[in-house]
Chain A
Amino acid sequence: QSVLTQPPSVSGAPGQRVTISCTGSSSNIGAGYDVHWYKQLPGTAPKLLIYLTTSRPSGVPDRFSGSKSGTSASLAITGLQAGDEADYYCQSYDSSLSVYVFGTGTKVTVL
Chain B
Amino acid sequence: QVQLQESGPGLVKPSETLSLTCTVSGGSISGYYWSWVRQPPGKGTEWIGNVYYDGSTNYNPSLNARVTISVDTSKNQFSLKLSSVNAADTAVYYCASGQREGLRWFDPWGQGTLVTVSS
Shortest distance from the beta carbon of B25 to any chain A beta carbon, whole Å: 15
* A76 within 8 Å of B (CB atoms): no
Question: Is residue B89 within 8 Å, beta carbon to beta carbon, of the partner chain?
Answer: no
Q: B42: shortest Cβ distance to chain A, in Å?
A: 11
- Whether a CB of chain B sits under 8 angstroms from the CB of A1 is yes
Q: Using Cβ atoms and an 8 Å threshold, which residues of chain B touch A1? A: 44, 46, 62
**Closest CB-CB distance, B46 to chain A, in whole Å?**
7
* Cross-interface CB contact of A45 among B35, B62, B110, cutoff 8 Å: B110
Say if the beta carbon of A48 comes within 8 Å of chain B: yes
Contact of B61 among A44, A46, A89, A98 (CB under 8 A): A98
Chain B residues closer than 8 Å to A45, beta-carbon distance: 94, 109-112
Q: How many residues of B are counted as interface, with CB atoms below 8 angstroms from the partner's CB atoms?
A: 19
> A102–B44 contact, CB under 8 A?
yes
List the count of A-B residue pairs having beta carbons below 8 Å apart. 58
Q: Does A18 contact B (CB under 8 A)?
A: no
Q: Given A2-B44, A102-B46, A51 and B111 touching (CB < 8 A)?
A: no
Q: Pick the residue among B35, B46, B103, B109 that contacts A47 (CB under 8 A).
A: B109
Contact of B105 among A91, A99, A105 (CB under 8 A): A91
In the bound complex, residues from chain A placing their C-beta under 8 Å from that of B107 are 47-48, 51, 57
Which residues of B lie under 8 Å from residue A2 when comparing CB positions?
44-45
Q: Does any Cβ of A come within 8 Å of B106's Cβ?
A: yes
User: Could you tell me the distance between the alpha carbons of A93 and B95 in the complex, rounded to whole angstroms?
Assistant: 18
Inside 8 A of B112's CB, which chain A residues have their CB? 44-45
Residue numbers in B under 8 Å from A85 (CB-CB): none
Q: Which residues of A contact B45 (CB under 8 A)?
A: 2, 46, 89, 91, 102, 105
Nearest B residue to A89 by beta-carbon distance? B45
Q: How far is the CB of A66 from chain B (nearest CB, A)?
A: 12
Binding site for A on B (CB under 8 A): 35, 44-47, 60-62, 94, 103-112
